Amino acid sequence: MRHLLSIADLDRSDLESLLNLTDRFVEVSRRPIRNVPALRGRTVVSLFFEDSTRTRLSFETAAKRLGADVMTFSVGTSSVKKGESLRDTVETISAFGIDAIVVRHASSGVPSTIRRWTSAAILNGGDGWHQHPTQALLDSYTIRSHFGSLDGLRIAIVGDIKHSRVARSDVQAFTKLGAEVVLVAPPTLLPPSLEGWPVTVSHDLDAVVGTIDVCYLLRMQRERMVEALVPSLREYAQRFGLSPERADRLGERAIIMHPGPMNRGVEISPEAADRPNAVVTEQVANGVAVRQAALFRLLGTESQLESLEPKGTS
């Protein structure tokens, strides 16, 4: 694996091998000293053209825990403000001698495009509506840690599918790992065509909520909506929000997920978000280990895997 651009590029065994590698970094994270020198001397740049809390901090934490140097590029204070092109920006950063770029951009395809202008490995931190592969990996990891496997699980992804790179990536990862996915949304929040999506669709959350193992709520992405796609947020919350009453109807083992940032009171009620079976902060915690696995897979070597073994064992 040279880059991590899209879940579409990975098959089931690639996904499983990344999740198994994540297990090792979760084990490392439980030690008193959480840092391992697996990527010492390597440099990782985070290049975020779009807002982010979780993804950027998580990637930077992951790189630092692997002993890599981290360069943070803040678009707001850079020459991008003076009109520097994407290509010049990437070529300039590359001239410093770097090993990986984590990129987030509002346009689909940017991570793939910039490959041509650098020899660094590219990790997609979210591109437009297209892909967010590490989110899908951390979501798959979180589900696997609760159920042992995704095989045969029924997962509902609820809400603003149309604008969601998380939904696109999750559908691919979950189904490759053996789960069944049902999309739950009003027609206006679904993509115009679902051809090639291995999913079923429902417009009725009440009909679905009692039948699922995972209830995955998506943020209403108002920044991407050019027109009003729902009559009002209140009405949306009434029909598609996870209210306490709906959360009560989930199966005993079912979990509630959200990629963050949550709009409490819109797609999820504050009370449902704070239930013990809501695993949103677990998703964030697993995100660091997943990104360590991704960075290590692209930049590390087999022999460095040994540095992960606890001292005094083996």
Which residues are catalytic, by number? 54-55, 82, 104, 132
Nearer to ligand NCD, 219 or 246 (CB): 219
Nearer to ligand NCD, 285 or 307 (CB): 285
Distance from C-alpha of 204 to C-alpha of 212, rounded to nearest angstrom? 13
- Contact residues for ligand NCD (CB under 6 A)? 54-55, 126, 132, 135, 165-166, 219, 221, 259-260
Do 21 and 297 contact (CB within 8 A), yes or no? yes
Nearer to ligand NCD, 53 or 85 (CB): 53
Distance from C-alpha of 137 to C-alpha of 291, rounded to nearest angstrom? 9
Please, what is the minimum distance in Å from the beta carbon of residue 141 to ligand NCD? Answer: 14
CA distances to 40, 90, 112, 309 from 301, in Å: 12, 26, 24, 14
At 210, is the secondary structure helix, strand, or coil?
helix
DSSP 27-91: HHHTSSS----TTTT-EEEEEESS--SHHHHHHHHHHHHTT-EEEEEEGGGSGGGGT--HHHHHH
Nearer to ligand NCD, 10 or 136 (CB): 136
Please, what is the minimum distance in Å from the beta carbon of residue 28 to ligand NCD? Answer: 23
Please, what is the minimum distance in Å from the beta carbon of residue 133 to ligand NCD? Answer: 11
Please, what is the minimum distance in Å from the beta carbon of residue 261 to ligand NCD? Answer: 6
